Structure 1
Amino acid sequence: MSIKLIATDMDGTFLRDDHTYNHSLFAKVFRQLERHNIYFVAASGSSFPRLQREFKDYTAKMGFISQNGSVIHLGSKLFKSFPINQESLARVIHVLDRFYGPQDINQLVISTSEKSYVDQGMSAHDFNIVKLFYENVERIPDIRQIFTQRPTEDFTKISINFANHIDLKKVTTTLDGYLPPSLIMENSGFNTDLIGNAAATKQNALSLLQSHLNLKANEIVTFGDNENDLGMLAMTSQSYAMQNAQPIIQMQAAHTTTIDNNHDGVLQTINQLIKNER
């Protein structure tokens, strides 16, 4: 069975828990992917600038699905994005303010395809965490006024990192009944929910790339560890949940890696798949 494309989630999947990866092993694997004409795609809830930093030596030869599918790049070129209309954005902020206070939300991040914004009152600790996942981040005087202050910008995602005392399952139950039908909310791990255009999922983004590259489903390999990866994992018979993923995620993938994310599970599995292709 030939492989033409490999798409992998990042945090908890491709990356170790300290958000690093084995660069020397990746260089060897990437050369093998090029030799076999296999396209490599990083699929993440975080931003394209962050992914571009992680793969700065390979950007031109890769694909990127960022913000959980809201933004798609082929190399450095924007392929597709799914903006949220201003009315829906304002509705999200209104609903959040109705049910949650400052003590309930650690980080509120509002992003375009290339840039992210946070409130100037965000603590230095939280700002540094946001910078890790979003890279190109700007503080503004009042995040809740961003839509009126920047009416011409196309916003693509709202990220809410809730405090540890907040139960995300209850968040989903609470917010689902109030969000506009044009929006979707997905858990991205780390007690974080991402809200964006209902069409903006990793599964839909990967489907667009599949169509663009004229690929069959069984020519695609996917890796993931979390709820927001399930659609992508369901697309192909060559899907892999990580060994470190929750059992419910593993049950919905075709395979489970024998090695976890902290020991190069994705790269080791790709190595074996390439050997099997010979």
Structure 2
Amino acid sequence: MKKNKIKFIASDLDGTLLLNGAQKVSEELIPLIKRLNDEGIIFCAASGRQYPNLRRLFGEVADELMYICENGSVIIYKDKLLDKTPMKVELGRDIIRTITGVEQCEVLVSGERTSYLKPKTESYLVRMRDIVRNDICLVDDLEHIEEDYVKISVYDPTGIENTQDYFLTAFEGRAQSCVSGKQWLDYTAQGVNKGSAIKTIQRLMGFEAEECIAFGDNFNDIEMFQSVGYPIVMRQAVDAVKANAAYETDRVENSLRKLIEKLQTEV
């Protein structure tokens, strides 16, 4: 790579930057992000999480990052909205009613920066407020919130494997759906994913695919791999995911350090 050829680096969070269930980034990541900024390289956190939740992970460099939030539905850079792709209102309402109709399942409705809940159980409220630590708003009617639906999620505390076949086919052809953890399944607007968000960023920022790197570990990172010149998969990923990446790493930080060292030697 020539100096400054790379202009953009996106990384998935859970299972990629956050290993073994970690809920905070490593201490060594922050100075690496600062060095990338010094080189004019944008670092982007790409996740199904909401924006305020993602920001909290990055401390003193939070304002300098780009964020692909809500599985690609929301893109924020330097705390300003760069792009948003909501789903149609009636589709969102259909999804909410369908999830609510399954007894053990809860609904999570995502706006641009807020999660909307009408919890069936106290344990779900506690989970979202105190464990996941989303910025939440309790409402009486999820079908009439005062902003766009950017993502709607199923939470199945018994395990999403018990209901995923139903939910994956319920809105096939109308909404994008993906399993996003042991208990979660997400819906976004049709065609929206982390890869489509990277293509939007490339268009808006004037980046070529060959100037971009993406790190990921799971099936919902495959579109991201397909959108960049340097797709890097985590070593612990399953073979079906690895087949979509040209490179492999054990830790994102190790790859970033090697990139920075290479840039230094090319000065």
Question: TM-score by structure 2 length?
Answer: 0.89
Is it true that 1:59 corresponds to 2:53 in the alignment? no
In structure 2, stretches of 5+ residues that fail to align are none
Separation (CA, whole Å) in 2 of partners of 1:120 and 1:165: 17
Q: CA deviation at 1:244?
A: 2.1
Alpha-carbon offset, residue 166 of structure 1: 4.3
Partner of 1:262: none
Q: Name 1:129's counterpart in structure 2.
A: 127
Kept after mapping to 2: 8 A contact 1:8/1:223: yes
Residue number among 44, 54, 76 corresponding to 1:41 in the alignment: 44
Contact 2:34/2:61 (<8 A) preserved? no
SS at match of 1:94: helix
Is 1:171–2:164 an aligned residue pair? yes
Are 2:25 and 1:21 aligned?
yes
Q: In structure 1, what is the Cα distance between the partners aligned to 2:133 and 2:110?
A: 9
SS of the residue 2:170 aligns to: coil
Pairing partner for 2:142 from 141, 146, 167: 146
Structure 1 regions of 5+ residues with no counterpart? 260-264
The residue number in structure 2 matching 1:101 is 103
Measure, in 2, the Cα distance between the counterparts of 1:165 and 1:82: 28
Aligned equivalents of 1:163 and 1:230: distance in 2?
A: 26
CA distance in 1, matches of 2:29, 2:55: 15
1:74-113 matches, cutoff 5 A: 74-97=77-100, 100-102=102-104, 105=105, 107-113=106-112
Q: Which stretch shifts more, 244-253 or 214-223? A: 244-253
| Pairwise CA RMSD | 2.0
* TM-score of the two chains, using structure 1 as the length reference: 0.85
Give the Cα–Cα distance (whole angstroms) in 2 for the partners of residues 165 and 71 of structure 1. Answer: 27
Evaluate the alpha carbon distance shift between residue 9 and residue 128 of structure 1 in structure 2; reply closer, same or farther with a 3 A threshold: farther
In structure 1, what residue type is equivalent to 2:33?
A: F
Q: Which amino acid aligns with 1:171?
A: Q
**Alignment length, in residue pairs?**
259
Give secondary structure in 1 for the equivalent of 2:188. strand
Identity %: 24
Q: Does residue 117 in structure 1 map to residue 120 in structure 2?
A: no
1:237 lines up with 2:247 in the alignment: no
8 A contact 1:116–1:134 mirrored in 2: no
Task: Give 1:96 shift.
Answer: 2.9
